Amino acid sequence: MISDLLRIEGLRVYYYTRDGVVMAVDNVDLFMKKGETIGLVGESGSGKSTLGRAILRLVPPPGRIISGKIVFDGLNLTELSEEEMRKIRGKRISMVFQDPMTSLDPLMKIGDHIVETIMAHETLTREEAEEKAIKLLEQVGIRSERFMDYPHQFSGGMRQRVGIALALALNPDLVIADEPTSSLDVIVQFQILDLMKELKNLYGMGMILITHDISIIPGIADKVALMYAGQLVEFADAKSFFNEPLHPYGKALLESIPNIQHSDQKLKYIPGNPPDLINPPKGCRFSPRCPYATEKCREEEPPTIMVGHHRLVKCFQY
């Protein structure tokens, strides 16, 4: 257990809205080893982004971490002061956002973004930081001539490369990438995922890849963490998950996605709608849409069960 890079236990993050309490992340346990990549998958509103932000303690108000532990390399992040937390953000845990256009300062040159980030955490001279920034940009495929350009002069894919360079600037132990390719076209998505894979091998950091698109997980993630309605319903190594998802939601999800490799695919669909997190269904939250649901599923919340080696599933079937 000491070797875990990140260990989340019983995490609850609620949003206190005018309409009621939204239980966005509700009792989630997650653990990851150093250098591992976890694909955190779920639909919109499943709590995946909230979970990602909670790790950095960046949940926007009216959201709050209610309870639970986030232990990062032996430190319980939920107990740190804001000052101590700031030393961790960017330096040890960094983030890649969906659209870096909204996370980059439009009035600041690309190079300065990176230089500023480096100088905020490390004692380097401006020249040394610039040298490092140029090297970083080259690593993500941006020529050094573009150092003085502004964010609006970059295309979506290039901006995401800058976002990745920024996230890696301080050689973090963990990168949280929140839908990093969702606003990109398929060919650029392919390029960016490839770049992320390459850099991960080079830097050896751990990564949490948050996505609604389960198709991008194979080939990049070691593990899959599947979220539904604020809860982690399955946690497994990627290969086993795609070969045989255990949770009925995972199974149904994979059967509902068109696969370009299939010639005569028959899609199955999931009936009903994702639940309202102010009033989630009683018992298992997937039970109203689950073909295997029994009386018990509708009454009691299923426990999280270990199946085989390190495979977790939240379902009464196991």
Partner 1 sequence: MPLLKVVDLKKYFPVQRSFLERLLSRKIDYVKAVDGVSFEAEKGEVFSIAGESGCGKTTTGRLIVRLIDPTGGKIFFNGIDITSLSGEELRKLRKRMQIIFQNPYASLNPRMKIGENVGHPLEIHGIAYGREKEKLVMEMLEKVGLQPASKFYNAYPHELSGGQRQRVAVARAMILKPDFIVADEPISMIDVSLRARILELMIQLKEELDLTYLFITHDLAVAKYISDKIAIMYLGKIVEMGEKEVIFSDPKHPYTNALLSAVPVPDPNVKRKRIMLKGEVPSPINPPSGCRFHTRCPLATDICRREEPKLVKIDDNHFVACHMVK
Identified binder of partner 1 from the candidate list 51, 238, 297, 315, rule CB under 8 A: 238
Binding mask 92-121 for partner 1 (x = CB under 8 A): ------------------------------
Mark the segment that binds partner 1 (CB under 8 A) among 4-12, 95-103, 122-130, 189-197.
189-197
Q: Least distance (Å) from partner 1 to the CB of residue 251?
A: 12
Residues 276-295 binding partner 1 (CB under 8 A) are 289
Q: Least distance (Å) from partner 1 to the CB of residue 312?
A: 19
The set of residues, in sequence order, having a beta carbon less than 8 Å from that of 54 and lying 6+ positions away, is 11, 13, 25, 65, 70
On whether the CB atoms of residues 22 and 15 are closer than 8 A, the answer is yes
Identified binder of partner 1 from the candidate list 188, 293, 305, 307, rule CB under 8 A: 188
77-92 burial code (b ≥16 CB/10 A, e <16): bbebeeeebeebbbbb
d(C-alpha 275, C-alpha 62), whole Å = 20
Instruction: List the strands of the sheet with 4-17, edge to edge.
Output: 20-33, 4-17, 63-72, 75-76
Q: Least distance (Å) from partner 1 to the CB of residue 120?
A: 31
State phi, psi for 276 to the nearest 5 degrees.
-80, 125
d(C-alpha 261, C-alpha 106), whole Å = 41
The set of residues, in sequence order, having a beta carbon less than 8 Å from that of 65 and lying 6+ positions away, is 11, 12, 13, 54, 57, 59, 78
Mark the segment that binds partner 1 (CB under 8 A) among 21-29, 106-114, 213-221, 302-310.
213-221
78 near partner 1, rule: CB under 8 A:
no
Identified binder of partner 1 from the candidate list 10, 62, 204, 218, rule CB under 8 A: 218
State phi, psi for 224 to the nearest 5 degrees.
-120, 130
239 near partner 1, rule: CB under 8 A:
yes
Mark the segment that binds partner 1 (CB under 8 A) among 40-48, 55-63, 87-95, 101-109.
40-48
213 near partner 1, rule: CB under 8 A:
yes
Residue 93 token pair: 């845990």
Nearer to partner 1, 84 or 213 (CB): 213
